[in-house]
Structure 1
Amino acid sequence: MIVLRDEKRIYRLGRLAQVLSMAGLAVLVGGLLLIFISDSPSVFLFQLLALVVGYGFSQVGLHYAHRYLRRPRMDQKLDEAVGAVARRDGRLYHYLLPASHVLLLPSGVFVLVAKFQNGRITAEGDTWRQTGLGMRRFFGRENLGNPSREAEAQVAKMKAYIAANAPAAAEAPLWPVIVFTAEKIDSLEIKESRIPAVHASKLSKLLRQQTINLKPLPRAEYDALRAAFDAPAAHLIEETIDVTPAAE
């Protein structure tokens, strides 16, 4: 399997996460100290401003840290998770296309929406909930959000990208999959969701089920997709990493 990832972006946004987190902490501490070093009648307003700015910096830093600093990163977990189904002809693109993680197979394209959250994850239709965190929900957490809407938005971006850059393959199959990459997750219960969601350990099985009865794309369509997906990674092609998972 060929894996292409924007390492420079990962490094840059990882550093940004560190800077924003430290800046947020500094602003919060500074706001706390204002009451001891200032006798201005407006000190409360300055403290409130410091709280808002510091919290904002910290949250943005946390957002980037979860994606670009935590080990193993989500993209690294996906490398392992796609498994033998992509071993021969898969091409996995990280942070190079309008969707963060895209898997190109001879039979079509998968948009992998990676989520790091753990606990008890439930979905009924398009309503998602994360419970079972206890006090952990107050420390260094990021809300689950709505993975279904996130997946739909990424698919729409990929469709637009393909239509503009590989019009010959505009009708190629495009499937979204929500993938939870946390090492341990208490439970994942999905009911009547339009978009499949699995733990990373079961991704390979799902991909196999989705593609086992599909015919390969016409060669012209596949080549058009590959050329369009490779274009943003032209600077990486000569340094391509061939990741070949062990047979299951």
Structure 2
Amino acid sequence: MHIHNNEALYKRNIRGSFVASLLGMLALVGSVYVLFGEGQFGLYLLFLVLGIVLVQVGSWFSRWGRRADQGFNKALGSLDNHFSLYHYRSPVAHLLVAPSGVWMLLPRHTRGQVSYDSQKKRWTVKLPNILARLGQEGIGRPVAEASIDAEAIDRFLQKHWPDAQLRIQAVLVMMDENTEVERVAGAPIPTASIKKLKHTLQKGDPKAHLTAAQRDKLNRLLHQHYPA
């Protein structure tokens, strides 16, 4: 397995999350001091709004601290050198170039039992109790996300390899090792737990499989346009 990571990007955004959260908390504390100490309502509102915005920014950047890249590296690291894994070194966040095709990996840190409701056309999560919902990441809209990512890859290929005609695949991955994935056969996107991801990636759509020459060319293009 060849792993290509953008460690500098991770470190920069994790540091940004810490700084934004710290400044946000200081601004919120300052708003309380201004309200009760100085009695200046306008200044209080300024500190309050600034604090809330900074805390939200820090919360958004905190997703970088979950390090989905490390989870993928651990789960797929034993694959042979026919596989190349890219983290923020391609048009999308996590991309795998494999004999079974080009895969977009869509990580979710959802806990519980994940299944797909074919009637409601959505993924559902069953949790052991109400408290488990605290801090829980939702499934979101993986179909829309996959569509946007696929378009980004298509634009890249049209620009640098217009006659490629590669079929892009996506897989929704539950990163928590305790999450159970069941009854997802009808899902529009293959859904797998991190423990069974390797099995999913080794199959794929036969029409999407890549030859060694196709893999080599795509890897060269990614290295050229997304250098370390």
Q: TM-score, normalised by structure 2?
A: 0.83
After TM superposition, list the pairs within 5 Å mapping 1:132-211 onto structure 2: 132=127, 134-138=130-134, 140-169=135-164, 171-185=165-179, 189-190=183-184, 192-210=186-204
Provide, for residues 4-60 of structure 1, a one-character-per-residue CA deviation record: whole Å limited to 9, x for no partner: 1111111111111111111222222222333211223546xx44x544433332233
| Shift of residue 157, structure 1, vs aligned partner | 1.0
SS of 1:145 mapped into structure 2: coil
SS of 1:64 mapped into structure 2: helix
Deviation larger for 116-125 or 203-212: 116-125
Deviation larger for 49-58 or 158-167: 49-58
Q: What is the percent sequence identity of the aligned residues?
A: 25
Q: 1:189 to 1:65 in 2, by over 3 A?
A: farther
| Shift of residue 184, structure 1, vs aligned partner | 2.2
| Amino acid paired to 2:110 | Q
Q: 1:212 to 1:157 in 2, by over 3 A?
A: closer
SS of 1:66 mapped into structure 2: helix
Q: Whose relative contact order is higher, 1 or 2, with alpha carbons under 8 Å and at least 6 apart?
A: 1
Q: Which of 51, 56, 65 in structure 1 is aligned with 2:53?
A: 56
| Amino acid paired to 1:198 | A
Q: 1:159 to 1:137 in 2, by over 3 A?
A: same
Match for residue 62 of structure 2? Answer: 65
Match for residue 30 of structure 1? Answer: 30
| Amino acid paired to 2:130 | G
Provide, for residues 192-226 of structure 1, a one-character-per-residue CA deviation record: whole Å limited to 9, x for no partner: 3211111110101111222679754272x333312
Find the aligned partners of 1:92 and 1:222 in 2 and give their Cα distance. 12
1:109 aligns with 2:106: no
Q: TM-score, normalised by structure 1?
A: 0.77
1:99 aligns with 2:92: yes
| Amino acid paired to 2:57 | V
Q: 1:103 to 1:131 in 2, by over 3 A?
A: same
Which structure 1 segments of 5+ residues have no match?
237-248
| Shift of residue 128, structure 1, vs aligned partner | 3.7
Deviation larger for 115-124 or 209-218: 209-218
Match for residue 89 of structure 1? Answer: 82
After TM superposition, list the pairs within 5 Å mapping 1:227-246 onto structure 2: 227-234=220-227, 236=228
| Amino acid paired to 2:36 | F
Q: CA RMSD in A?
A: 2.7
| Amino acid paired to 1:28 | L
